[in-house]
């Protein structure tokens, strides 16, 4: 079974981009819920939710990005499932290309044979293998500058990955990790507050409800927010 995103049903407000073509006229500052892609970005076979933003010289390939998430300049993501409200800094690499280390040759020619005029077709089984090792980010995940998330890793909702970290293992929800390879530093909140935030699931709120609660997002700490909304 193919894992390509072109076959996935779209939620309201989400758009599928077979291949992004920059508009003839500069788009200017993003306005409204339509996903905004820099004219210098490359987006291929990907799904973007409303209010998503993609920065200059960033590449997305076979990546689904949830509503309100953004990825800024000079980053890349491939075969990735990105939740809502994720904040992805520049120079981030999500699921960099895996090579067939178990075979006699690791080089492109063995699976991109057409480019090297060695065969009439590429190795589609290999690319399906890559797709099967998707990276998954939960909701409200923050990836700092220069982070690398290796294939097959899941980063839980509400987590923080410190700048320059290389993440080779799953990250628990609401946890801060850092280092090479990354290791847990601490949990963001006490367990009761974590459970409350996850139960509230504010990332699933409608746009209007988020706007109505904006003052609370700004002024309440997580403990007080949970007390008010659970």
Catalytic residues: 107
Which helix (H) or strand (E) segment is 210 a member of?
helix 207-212
* Residue 48 phi, psi (nearest 5): -125, 135
The number of CA neighbours under 13 Å toward the Cβ of 41 is 29
Spatial contact of 186 and 180, defined as CB atoms under 8 Å apart: no
Report how far residue 129's alpha carbon sits from residue 100's, in angstroms, rounded to the nearest whole number: 10
H or E element that contains 211: helix 207-212
Taking the C-alpha atoms of residue 54 and residue 111, their distance in angstroms, rounded to an integer, is: 29
| Angle (nearest 5°) at CA 168 between 40 and 137 | 55
In whole angstroms, what is the distance from residue 183 CA to residue 161 CA? 10
Q: Which helix (H) or strand (E) holds 102?
A: none
- Separation CA 33–CA 51 (nearest Å): 4
């Amino acid at each position: 079974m193919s894992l390509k995103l072109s076959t996935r049903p779209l939620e309201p407000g989400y758009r599928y981009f077979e291949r992004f073509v920059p508009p003839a006229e500069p788009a200017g500052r993003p306005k409204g819920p339509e996903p905004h892609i820099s004219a210098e970005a490359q987006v291929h076979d990907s799904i973007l939710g409303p209010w998503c933003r993609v920065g200059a010289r960033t590449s997305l390939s076979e990546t689904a990005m949830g509503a309100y998430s953004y990825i800024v300049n000079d980053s890349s993501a491939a075969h990735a499932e990105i939740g809502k409200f994720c904040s992805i800094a520049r120079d981030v690499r999500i699921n960099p290309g895996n090579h067939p280390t178990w075979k006699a040759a690791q080089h492109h020619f063995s699976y991109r044979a057409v480019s090297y005029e060695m065969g009439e077709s590429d190795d589609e089984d290999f690319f399906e293998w890559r797709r099967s090792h998707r990276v998954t980010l939960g909701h409200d995940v923050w990836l700092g500058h220069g982070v690398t998330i290796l294939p097959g890793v899941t980063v839980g909702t509400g987590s923080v990955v410190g700048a320059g970290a290389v993440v080779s293992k799953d990250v628990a929800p609401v946890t801060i990790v850092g280092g090479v390879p990354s290791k847990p530093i601490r949990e963001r909140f006490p367990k009761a507050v974590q459970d409350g935030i996850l139960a509230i699931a504010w990332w699933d709120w409608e746009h209007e409800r988020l706007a109505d609660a904006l003052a609370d997002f700004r002024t309440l700490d997580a403990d007080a927010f949970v007390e008010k909304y659970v």
